Structure 1
Amino acid sequence: MKALTRTFLILFCIATLVAAGPVLAQEEPDKPEPPEKSEKSEKEENGKENGEKPDRDKKKKDKDAPKPYDEVITEEMTSDPGLFIVHRDKDNYFYEIPVSELGTDMIWVSQLAETQAGFSWAGMPLGNRVVRWEQRGDKVLLRDVNYDIRADVDDPIKLAVKATSVSPIIQIFPVKAYGKDKAPVIDVTKLFTTDRSEFSASETLDAKGLDSKRSFIEQVKSFPTNIETEVVATYKLTKPKPGGDNGRQRFPSATRRDPSQSGVTVLLHHSMVKLPEEPMKPRVFDDRVGFFSHGFTDFGDDSAHELKRVRYIARFRLEKKKPKKKLSEPKTPIIWYVSREVPAKWQQYVIQGINDWQPAFESAGFKNAIIGQLAPSRQEDPDWDAEDARYTTVRWLPSAVPNAFGPHISDPRTGEILEADVRMFHNIMKLVRDWYFVQASPSDPRAQKLPMPDDLIGELIRFVVAHEVGHSLGFPHNMKASSSYSVEQLRDPEFTAKMGTAPSIMDYARFNYVAQPGDGASLTPAVGVYDHFAAEWGYREFPEDADEKAELEKIVARQKDDPMLLFGNPNPLEDPTQQTEDLGGDAVAATRMGLKNLERVAGYLVEATSKPGEDYDLLDNMHNALLGQWRREMGHVANVVGGVQQINLRYGDADRRYFPIDAARQKDAVVFLIENVFNTPEMFLSSDILGRIEATGAADRVLMAQRSILRSLLASHRIKRMGEIAEGSEPAYSAAEMIHDVTDGIWSEMADSNPDIDLYRRNLQRAHVDLLAGMLESKDPASDLPALARGELTRLHADCAKYASAAANETTTRHLDDVAARIRMALDKIKVLTTGATPPARGGR
């Protein structure tokens, strides 16, 4: 498979090295000829007493000297012309490098193409770098070119930049022979079968190094602009420590299952791609519009009297055939080939997902800029190869991983996307099925019985493809997009038919869990208005005499009046409008609708997942998916508390960028969580479900879900943020008030003179006390958390002591006594640590 395309950008973005070309190492001056030696001295030097060293040196020199071409490249070898001519002699490979390609910049991308079970996953990137092949006498040097710093101006600083940009030598190869037009021939076998840190998977696999005896080159393919190499590589494993895997995770560690295992074998894929001879005109990055980018330090611009970091956006090279026309086809469209291994029943949906981007590029002035089509068969085009970097593809991977990704490879000098791919893991079908079932099935009868029909799964695959193609086009996630829609709009069939369920398909908005049965609203995301806006900003061409910066500013200025065009970096903790997996700008209102749908799903869960004669594995899986969706939606509400909304506008557009969430909204969020999280969620305690999937365990599962929300609410960063906001704005919802409200909600039974506390609440209350006790030991001098926790524990201790004897039953009495003892131990421990005092004797205070 094509290594070029497996680079991450998660995705949640990768900065590629960019700078001016480095200085070549200076050649050493010719050394003077040694004086003639006498016959005697030569004889003495060549004698046995001197070990005949000169003869050996001469033999070694003769051995290393280039030989006639026909002696090195024989007729028995196979040869593959392309960027370089690649010759194969059994397990040995030779590059014949055209002189015209020496000194040319190329990008080298390495990744795991296939893996051994339990070790990482296919497509895992190992790194990319720019390399250059240089000739020095009868040797060829492979150099690692650093483009991180540059200076384009004709200024003395450029000399200094060059002086600090010497390219490290990765390996030196003796020239074995010279081919046509003096093209050097080198043996590159050991480049791939020994452990070079620049291309190694040792760190990823937590291995000691490559075992050359168990490694070999599987194949090398040479194409006009790239060379693709696959290596079967075996890495020696470190011996696992008892009870662990040396502190590292091997996804999971295979040695944990088999301590005798000495190595891990993987298939490495290396792609070497020639960078364009004519660099594309770059476009400078603007953080108000979402694009992946490539950065470099510009020493040539001191206009602001400080060092600047410049970034260019990643984008394909699109140029109009007819520049004067408002809408024109591109000179070279982006052809996206759907590889033949994609299952036939999904191919049409994959093509639709690609073509869904066509209207967005029309906003940028390009007609048919992106075209999805089925790759030619071997009979139709025997020369077509999915590994060829000239082709952008969608590949289907036979993997159990429920995922997909859409990386690309860019020219670090300009940001030009040279090649892109979408990788669809086979088990992506399970992921979209689970999402759609728990989020949208109440409004879609087709999804209320599993398995879902193929036409529905096809629509869901289409959505995933469109999202991943967006990444390959240069667009990162835009988590702010979905917050610009209201709950009312998400339930409106006319609005969602026109605008989709979010302004951007690059948001993690998933499916419409807000819509209720009978609304008739759309349920799946689509390429939206923000995507059109971003494509226009990034891809629109301007006349040569136009002020490009000013024209781009006109486009981005629309954000001031249209929140649907705003971009937000993925999921900063403090901003509830930039979350993953959420819908709408009001988390409480959206989650209230979502809970109604989750309760509906729970009601038909057994019927939807069960068939006569089959086990309950699917029921168990979907029950866990239901709980997972509940946790996500409750997490959205928790992030309203102490939240700060960011609107990324510039000076002159707004008076501020950060806006604390209204105090009343924060308090409403806490009340909602008390009612729906800390009050035991009964939907997960259905005996009709639990009696089929487990003997016990529901209590632990519910507690784990509740505790995750509780920890989030009481997290140190949230408490500190609330304290700072309270100092600067009125009215404010203080951390002290929030913690007090949470305590009252979790311990609401104390309002009864004869409290009766059930198992699930007892578990939650113990978890609450343990969490507060852990906060006492915080050493952060800027946090009120220890003081607030101490106050709540002191109050709880008094309440537990007061109500224990009056409890409705013995279990509740023992519970309150136990909690009081836990609190006292925690407070006494802190007293000893802070004062050195002897703890008081046990008994009443």
Structure 2
Amino acid sequence: MIKKVLVMGVLAALSVGCKTSNPIVKAPETEKKGDFKPYNKVITPAAISDKGLFTTHRVDDKLYFEIPDSLFNKDLLWVSRIAKVPSGYGGGYINAGSKVNEQVVRWNKRGKNVDIKVMSFENQSNEESPIYKSVQANNFEPILYSTKIETMKADSSAYVVDVTGLFEDEVAAINGMNASYRKRYKVKRLDKSRSYIDEVHSFPQNVEVRHVMTYEAETPPERGQAGTISILMNQSMVLLPEDKMMPRIADYRVGWFTIGKYDYDSEALKSDDYQIIRKWRLIPKDIEAYKNGELVEPLKPIVYYLDPATPKRWRPYFKQGIEDWNKAFETAGFKNAIIAKDPPTKEEDPDFSPEDVRYSVVRYVASTTRNAVGPSVVDPRTGEIIESDIIWYHNHLRSYRNRFMIEAGAQNPNARTLDTPEEEIGEMMRMVIAHEVGHALGLPHNMKASAAYPTDSLRSAEFTQKYGLTPSIMDYARVNYVAQPEDKGVRYIRMMGPYDLYAINWGYRYLPDADTPDDEKEKLDQWILEKAGDPVYEFGGGYGGFDPQAQRESLGKDQVKASEYGLANMKKVVPNLIEWTTKDGYAYDELEEVYGELISLWRGYLYHVVTNVGGVYETRKTSDQEGTIYTPVPDDIQKNAVQFLNENAFTTPDWLLNKDILDRIESSGAIARVQNLQSRVLNYLLNEDRLMRMIENEQLHNSDYAVVELLEDLRKGIFSELYNGQKVDAYRRNLQRAYVDVAIGYLNNIEADNKVAGTDIIALMRGELESLKSQLQRMQYSTSDRLSRYHYKDLIARIDRVFSDD
């Protein structure tokens, strides 16, 4: 696949096509020193200069780059990030540090001009291959920006260009205001009078520019009277290494962030598309000792510095979270592979800056955002991670404090306070940092990991203290909500597990005898096959929503049992929330926040169960392994899941509707809240993809739990009052209307949704409504409650209306 010399991207423009006459070729202009202004007339004594990769000069309101001749046509990675953003921008999902774009550029001299060209390394061909010219010709690089050469150094070793417009004009590829946001905020234009270059710094391997972009907007996210949106952008240009790291070919059975490639020299009857993993370059100092199985330090370890803004109280936990990964790297043969350091003092390192690409930093951001992220800067040619900045937002602690109270308050006395003890909150911070460092090492989420452990094992102190809550820190399994109050000594907070050690060994083990990526494949496959069949070492990203064993925040193999345990704990927590969240002299804001988050977690427990219905287990395999990849969830598990939903999702949650709490946080809203939650669960359960999977499983796999049985079980549960003559309360009336509305929605959208119109879903929903109408007509007078009877008549009228429109 890659046994050739890889030529990535476009190196030159080619003239292609048939010609009937000799073209007139205009020779490019060649620059002469006399063509430009004298150096000291452009870079005057007033210039503020900074030497580094490019020497930068600020002269009055202009910015100049002095580009060494040796750096033209070199690969630079350009990373555009939002450094500061208005509150609420992007609906709160865009925060300081958010990456906008990442691209490789080359500064190219063209006569008296300099162009910035955007390079692509996706399509590849051997330089000696006949198809190489076609790959070049069909991947012509776009010009991002062009500017004139203003002057040159006396020895002609560098050229000076004015790049002010690059950062003060609107260049689409590097700004933070995309078309969607322009429309959302009704942006009129970029106001150049309020857009300017803020800071410029040049380092040995990168150049950093911060610039303010101000837009006139009719509906800005905040301070509407100003009529503007201002964004501080940070542009990083990083010199990529000439000595390229050998890529490692990805395998979808082991989770890694990847980069896609197309090899046009493939002997297959198509371009060969494959992935390479994103990883740091770790090479042993002593190759022979490494070959002999000794732990060896890498030539260049991965070093993370703490942000100087990090509170000293939390620094030990941040360091532990970073260096926890040394245990995993030891499985790959490295010792001291990753190191955490305090920020250096001015005396220790006067040039230290978090913006310098030579330093990877855990940044501590004073923000109300409740999140942490682990982005990295990657060489797209090889997958080598150049540097990374872990971002910790200050208010993320709030999320863990609340979750700990909700999910462990019934079992753990230390969770019954807003002032979570430092031992617990510090351990949570440590594991969050470890999770984000995992991303920065190249590992994506492994949502399937938690399903490897039997659910009841999470109630065992011995098991959880040894193995944690899940085999991977990269799973979302933050708090042990399965453990019950009588279970003593269990672990409540996630930790690194065996999958993480396995994945790091697979991705980072140095194979000194391999000269090409293809040479590594046999050994990499062997490691996977050695673990095949063991769920502890399986990977699943959790995307697609069809595999109940690959879900975020889910714990254990049995999702129904786990949710039963979680709900049992929640029911004990709710009566205590007032006591645990209030303080004399303060309002009930904290109570309202925690109660709202408890409802969200309850919904998550229900979703975990829903996914079993029409679910399909995915076990990633290659063609040389026995067995299939996809297996339908067994019928008895699906039926048990529906029974759970009838009892816990579609029965009025009296335990949640705590009058003492509701009367303290709202004047009204409980009925609408429960209606919204139940309707969302019902729509998720009866969505098109799930129903189609059930129909297909019945046909192809002889599944005994068919869609008609699902609808019958739901009808009996949701309309139980119809059969027992009981009064229908307000919550249940809303739920029953929602059920009818889902079925009607399918029939009303036949013409709009051609995909559904050609399936059995329409026939099923029509038949279900007819059956329900018949039962409503027969049983509507079985209750003595007048409003219940009116409600039944209304449902009949709704059904009649959709049938009359046919």
Give me the TM-score of the superposition, normalised by structure 2: 0.92
Name the structure 2 match of 1:491.
459
Among 163, 166, 169, the alignment partner of 2:143 is 169
Structure 2 residue 574 is matched with structure 1 residue 602: yes
Structure 2 residue 498 is matched with structure 1 residue 529: yes
Alignment partners' CA distance in 1, 2:701 and 2:318: 51
Shift of 1:455: 3.1
1:473-484 equivalent positions in 2, closer than 5 A: 473-484=441-452
Q: 1:809 to 1:29 in 2, by over 3 A?
A: closer
Among 770, 775, 778, the alignment partner of 1:799 is 775
Which letter does structure 1 place at the counterpart of 2:785? N
Alignment partners' CA distance in 2, 1:350 and 1:593: 32
Name the structure 2 match of 1:8.
none
Name the structure 2 match of 1:409.
377
Structure 2 residue 322 is matched with structure 1 residue 354: yes
Which of 743-752 and 267-276 deviates more?
743-752
Name the structure 1 match of 2:3.
none
Which letter does structure 2 place at the counterpart of 1:664? D
Structure 2 residue 75 is matched with structure 1 residue 105: yes
Name the structure 2 match of 1:220.
200
Contact in 1 for aligned 2:7/2:126 (Cα 8 Å) = no
Shift of 1:208: 4.4
Contact in 2 for aligned 1:320/1:329 (Cα 8 Å) = yes
Shift of 1:802: 2.2
Which of 454-463 and 592-601 deviates more?
454-463
Structure 2 residue 336 is matched with structure 1 residue 344: no
Structure 2: which 5+ residue stretches go unaligned? 1-5, 16-23, 751-755
Which of 482-491 and 802-811 deviates more?
802-811
Structure 2 residue 96 is matched with structure 1 residue 122: yes
Shift of 1:196: 1.1
Alignment partners' CA distance in 1, 2:635 and 2:758: 22
Give me the TM-score of the superposition, normalised by structure 1: 0.88
Among 717, 737, 760, the alignment partner of 1:784 is 760
Which letter does structure 2 place at the counterpart of 1:791? G
Alignment partners' CA distance in 1, 2:638 and 2:176: 47
Q: 1:377 to 1:444 in 2, by over 3 A?
A: farther
Alignment partners' CA distance in 1, 2:635 and 2:28: 81
Shift of 1:696: 2.2
Among 738, 746, 750, the alignment partner of 2:718 is 746
Q: 1:726 to 1:433 in 2, by over 3 A?
A: same
Contact in 2 for aligned 1:572/1:579 (Cα 8 Å) = no
Classify the secondary structure of the residue corresponding to 1:420.
Answer: strand
Name the structure 2 match of 1:201.
176
Please identify runs of 4+ aligned residues in structure 1 that moved more than 3 A: 24-32, 61-65
Name the structure 2 match of 1:48.
none
Q: 1:272 to 1:695 in 2, by over 3 A?
A: same
Contact in 2 for aligned 1:126/1:199 (Cα 8 Å) = yes
Which letter does structure 2 place at the counterpart of 1:309? D
Q: 1:141 to 1:571 in 2, by over 3 A?
A: closer
Shift of 1:337: 0.6
Which letter does structure 1 place at the counterpart of 2:562? A
Shift of 1:205: 3.6
Shift of 1:64: 10
- The count of residues paired between Structure 1 and Structure 2 equals 769
Alignment partners' CA distance in 1, 2:34 and 2:654: 79
Alignment partners' CA distance in 1, 2:28 and 2:535: 71
Alignment partners' CA distance in 2, 1:766 and 1:491: 40
Alignment partners' CA distance in 2, 1:180 and 1:524: 63
Alignment partners' CA distance in 2, 1:181 and 1:278: 28
Structure 2 residue 165 is matched with structure 1 residue 190: yes
Among 592, 611, 622, the alignment partner of 2:583 is 611
Classify the secondary structure of the residue corresponding to 2:436.
Answer: helix
Shift of 1:29: 4.2
Shift of 1:123: 2.0
Among 125, 128, 131, the alignment partner of 2:105 is 131
Among 765, 770, 783, the alignment partner of 2:741 is 770
1:375-454 equivalent positions in 2, closer than 5 A: 375-454=343-422
Shift of 1:571: 3.1
Structure 2 residue 629 is matched with structure 1 residue 657: yes
Name the structure 2 match of 1:560.
532
Contact in 2 for aligned 1:202/1:210 (Cα 8 Å) = no
Among 152, 157, 175, the alignment partner of 1:178 is 152
Name the structure 1 match of 2:20.
none
1:142-174 CA-to-partner distances (Å, cap 9, x unmatched) read 111122211025211111112223222222222
Alignment partners' CA distance in 1, 2:657 and 2:587: 20
1:326-345 equivalent positions in 2, closer than 5 A: 326=293, 327-345=295-313
Alignment partners' CA distance in 2, 1:426 and 1:262: 29
Alignment partners' CA distance in 1, 2:609 and 2:209: 49
Shift of 1:18: 9.4
The percentage of counterpart residues that share the same residue type is 39
Which of 372-381 and 760-769 deviates more?
372-381
Which letter does structure 2 place at the counterpart of 1:74? T
User: Looking at CA atoms only, which structure, 1 or 2, has the larger radius of gyration?
Assistant: 1
Shift of 1:481: 0.5
Alignment partners' CA distance in 1, 2:675 and 2:381: 52
1:318-366 CA-to-partner distances (Å, cap 9, x unmatched) read 0001122221010100001111111221111111111111100111111
Structure 2 residue 434 is matched with structure 1 residue 466: yes
Among 115, 133, 139, the alignment partner of 1:159 is 133
Classify the secondary structure of the residue corresponding to 2:197.
Answer: strand
Name the structure 1 match of 2:753.
none
1:592-618 CA-to-partner distances (Å, cap 9, x unmatched) read 111111111113111111122221111
1:622-771 equivalent positions in 2, closer than 5 A: 622-752=594-724, 754-771=725-742
Which letter does structure 2 place at the counterpart of 1:700? A
Which letter does structure 2 place at the counterpart of 1:138? K
Contact in 2 for aligned 1:77/1:87 (Cα 8 Å) = yes
Q: 1:129 to 1:64 in 2, by over 3 A?
A: farther
Name the structure 2 match of 1:234.
214
Which of 544-553 and 437-446 deviates more?
544-553
Classify the secondary structure of the residue corresponding to 2:314.
Answer: helix
Which of 220-229 and 608-617 deviates more?
608-617
Alignment partners' CA distance in 2, 1:99 and 1:762: 76
Contact in 2 for aligned 1:505/1:526 (Cα 8 Å) = yes
Name the structure 2 match of 1:289.
254
1:134-149 equivalent positions in 2, closer than 5 A: 134-149=108-123
Which letter does structure 1 place at the counterpart of 2:714? V
